[in-house]
């Protein structure tokens, strides 16, 4: 059915008028006044002219109509079949109070409509408008390099990231010396100078190519590649600390390119109208087993199936990782080496707003299967697997971790908590030539509360130790690859620095960026060890947002070994007290633009030695200063 339309407008003129194809609605906008009136007149099939009155406007008779005759307007069938969206040209008639002898408008033709202008996509509507420049160096406005505009038709976007991290550390770390490992005449004691200087420059390039409109729905495809270029320099006062060969002296310069991400992510399906989904990710990818990095936080090669349900109330992960060897000096992934015979299997479930709104609970099961029953030496010539402690025999282990984790708040109280129970077998044990059963426990919790610009914190952490290194029970808790953001994190001396055991093999009492004294050769290349002294940490801290750009953090941690029987066996020394000491630190974080694009951080930490630390090392405190600059594009 075809219709003819007459539009009469009174008062001040019409500002907008449109006819939408596919519906019977005519929209009009006019300035309202006492004399404003609008009537729609058209010719019916029988040739009679009828009228539809817009409610609220003065009635104006149409030629040849009765006042009561009205009919719903329909769109033009010809244009509807073509699927063209049209804009009706407005007809403006001067304001009159008497009936206007306007005749019926002829049937509409193509010239009576203005077709809408076609655009490539909705992201380019503002192209050419002043103030909407697309500049590659500006990450805050429209930028193709920052995925603001598709680079390929079909919603394909590209995102480029660049991060520079500069680190300078001046530190005291106990350093061993011997008859053939000292460059100082007359220095033949066990402990040498503790002074060390470290400078590191890491540059990370991130390339992300993905498809999808990701406002609500996850990307359909994602390809990510993140190489990191590292330059590092270490300067010590003693030789044989940077390399097993004393001819290498006291300084080491090294560079490495590590691949920290190289994966493809495929969106498998949506399972609800609100974009609950299932996806699979294959390749080198970041993963964290809990909220604070206590058990396994690393970038490793794997396959991960993940998704969510019930409007994102539940999230899940099912994953398998085969660990990549690390570069000795930078700690980055090294794809030039063979993969490790070390597999990690993960299944976890997150539950939002449980048990109360604002708190996220997580249950996890992780199994670590290690078959590295061969000798492995790092790039500096030191043995890494097995650790040079106890029997120094190649070993294997299977260990399963059951964990409950939570993060969020109960009212005003912020809380993060984790508990893990580990069980399995290791063959042989570190100190005994028998297969040992692993049974160990870990617990950590940190509570805080906000008072305007002040957030005080209290921290508690416990990792069980082994009270008898020669039995068939391994009761020390060890992580797979920990990176704890807890109790001050890397501003803490104990957590940040790798402290060598000295006198009990070439192992570390505690690793770099670790809290557990696991007696490994290193966190990056060594194996987990479940025969160690364990630890108890009690901490107090406060974050002070003194300016929007400046945060000051103060931390105090009290540290004790859980049991020193393993240390006494490793050092052939008794007794050794359980008190490690007091770890105090202060850090300043400055963000000049109140964003993460420029972050400057300076920190100072001091370990005030307790009786147990004095039993192991010279009677002196250890400290370090760190400056860190991050620039991000």
Residue 267 has pLDDT above 50, yes or no: yes
Q: What is the mean pLDDT of the chain?
A: 84
Q: What's the start-to-end Cα distance of the chain, in Å? A: 60
Place of tokens 């920990």: 482
- Calculate the alpha carbon distances from 365 to 27, 36, 312, 345, 468 in Å: 60, 72, 21, 8, 28
- What phi-psi label fits residue 423: left (phi over 0), alpha (psi between -120 and 50 degrees) or beta? beta
More confident call, 33 vs 570: 570
488: nearest Cα among 530, 441, 446: 446
Question: 5-54: per-residue pLDDT in tens?
Answer: 333 333 333 333 232 333 333 333 333 333 333 444 444 555 554 444 44
List, in sequence order, the alpha helices (H) in 499-573: 565-571
Place of tokens 């043995």: 383
Residue 19, beta-bridge partner list: 26
Report the pLDDT value the prediction gives residue 178, as an integer from 0 to 100.
Answer: 67
**Which residues have a Cβ under 8 Å from the Cβ of 54 and sit 6 or more positions away?**
28, 38, 39, 40
Among 46-50, 124-128, 538-542, the range scoring the smallest mean pLDDT is 46-50
Read off the tokens for 98. Answer: 């008497």
Question: 411-462: per-residue pLDDT in tens?
Answer: 999 999 999 999 999 999 999 989 999 999 999 999 999 999 999 999 999 9
Read off the tokens for 349. Answer: 């479930």
Read off the tokens for 102. Answer: 């306007």
The domain limits of the chain are 4-115, 156-632
Question: 244-255: per-residue pLDDT in tens?
Answer: 888 888 999 999
Cα radius of gyration rounded to whole Å, the chain: 35
Residue 529: pLDDT band (50, 70, 90) is very high
Report the pLDDT value the prediction gives residue 136, as an integer from 0 to 100.
Answer: 85
CA 34 – CA 100 distance, rounded (Å): 18
CA 251 – CA 236 distance, rounded (Å): 6
CA 276 – CA 273 distance, rounded (Å): 8
Read off the tokens for 42. Answer: 């058209």
Phi, psi of 549 (to 5 degrees): -95, -10
Residue 386 has pLDDT above 70, yes or no: yes
CA 576 – CA 582 distance, rounded (Å): 17
For domain 156-632, give the CATH number: 2.40.160.100
């Amino acid at each position: 059915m075809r219709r003819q339309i007459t539009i009469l407008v009174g008062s001040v003129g019409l500002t907008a008028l449109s006819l939408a194809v596919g519906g019977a609605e005519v929209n009009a906008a006019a300035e309202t006044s006492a004399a404003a009136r609008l009537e729609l007149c058209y010719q019916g099939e029988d040739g009679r002219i009828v009228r539809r009155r817009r409610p609220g406007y003065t009635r104006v008779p149409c030629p040849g109509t009765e006042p009561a005759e009205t009919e719903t307007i329909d769109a033009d069938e010809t244009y509807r079949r073509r699927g063209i969206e049209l804009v009706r040209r407005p007809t403006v008639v001067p304001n009159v109070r008497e009936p206007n002898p306007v005749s019926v408008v002829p049937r509409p033709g193509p010239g009576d409509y203005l077709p809408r202008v076609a655009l490539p996509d909705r992201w380019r509507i503002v192209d050419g408008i002043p103030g909407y420049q697309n500049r590659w160096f500006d990450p805050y406005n429209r930028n193709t390099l920052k995925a603001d505009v598709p680079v390929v038709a079909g919603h394909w976007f590209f995102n480029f990231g660049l991060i520079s991290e500069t680190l300078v550390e001046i530190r005291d770390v106990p350093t061993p010396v011997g008859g053939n490992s000292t460059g100082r005449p007359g220095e033949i004691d066990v402990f040498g100078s503790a002074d060390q200087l470290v400078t590191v420059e890491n540059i990370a390039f991130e390339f992300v190519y993905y498809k999808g409109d990701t406002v609500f729905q996850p990307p359909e495809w994602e390809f990510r590649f993140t190489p990191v270029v590292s330059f590092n320099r270490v300067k010590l006062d003693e030789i044989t600390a940077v390399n097993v060969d004393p001819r290498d002296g006291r300084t080491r310069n090294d560079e490495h390119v590590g691949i920290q991400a190289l994966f493809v992510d495929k969106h498998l399906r949506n399972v609800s109208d609100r974009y609950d989904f299932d996806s699979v990710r294959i390749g080198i990818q970041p993963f964290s087993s809990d909220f604070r990095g206590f058990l396994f936080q690393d970038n490793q090669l794997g396959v991960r199936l993940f998704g969510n349900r019930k409007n994102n109330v539940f999230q899940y992960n099912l994953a398998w990782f085969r660990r990549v060897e690390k570069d000795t000096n930078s700690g980055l992934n090294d794809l030039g080496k063979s993969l490790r015979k070390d597999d990690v299997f993960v299944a976890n479930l997150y539950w939002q707003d449980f048990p109360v709104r604002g708190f996220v609970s997580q249950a996890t099961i992780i199994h670590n299967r290690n078959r590295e029953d061969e000798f492995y030496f790092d790039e500096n010539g030191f043995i890494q697997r097995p650790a040079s402690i106890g029997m120094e025999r190649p070993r294997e282990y299977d260990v399963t971790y059951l964990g409950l984790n939570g993060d969020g708040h109960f009212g005003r109280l912020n809380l993060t908590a984790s508990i893990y129970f580990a069980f399995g077998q290791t063959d042989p044990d570190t100190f005994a030539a028998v297969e040992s059963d692993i049974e160990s426990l870990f617990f950590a919790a940190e509570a805080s509360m906000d008072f305007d610009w002040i957030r005080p914190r209290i921290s508690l952490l416990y990792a069980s130790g082994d009270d008898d290194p020669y039995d068939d029970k391994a009761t020390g808790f060890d992580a797979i690859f920990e990176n704890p953001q807890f109790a001050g994190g890397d501003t803490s001396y104990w957590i940040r620095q790798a402290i060598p055991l000295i006198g009990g093999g070439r192992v570390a009492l505690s690793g770099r960026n670790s809290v557990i004294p696991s007696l490994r050769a290193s966190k990056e290349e060594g194996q987990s060890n479940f025969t160690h002294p364990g630890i108890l940490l009690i901490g107090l801290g406060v974050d002070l947002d003194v300016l929007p750009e400046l945060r000051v953090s103060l931390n105090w941690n009290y540290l004790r070994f859980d049991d020193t029987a393993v240390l006494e066996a490793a050092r052939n020394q008794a007794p050794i007290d359980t008190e490690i000491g007091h770890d105090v630190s202060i850090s300043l974080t400055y963000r000049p633009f109140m964003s993460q694009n420029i972050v400057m951080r300076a920190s100072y930490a001091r370990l005030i030695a307790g009786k147990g630390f004095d039993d192991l090392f010279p009677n002196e405190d250890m400290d370090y200063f760190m400056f860190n600059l991050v620039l991000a594009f």
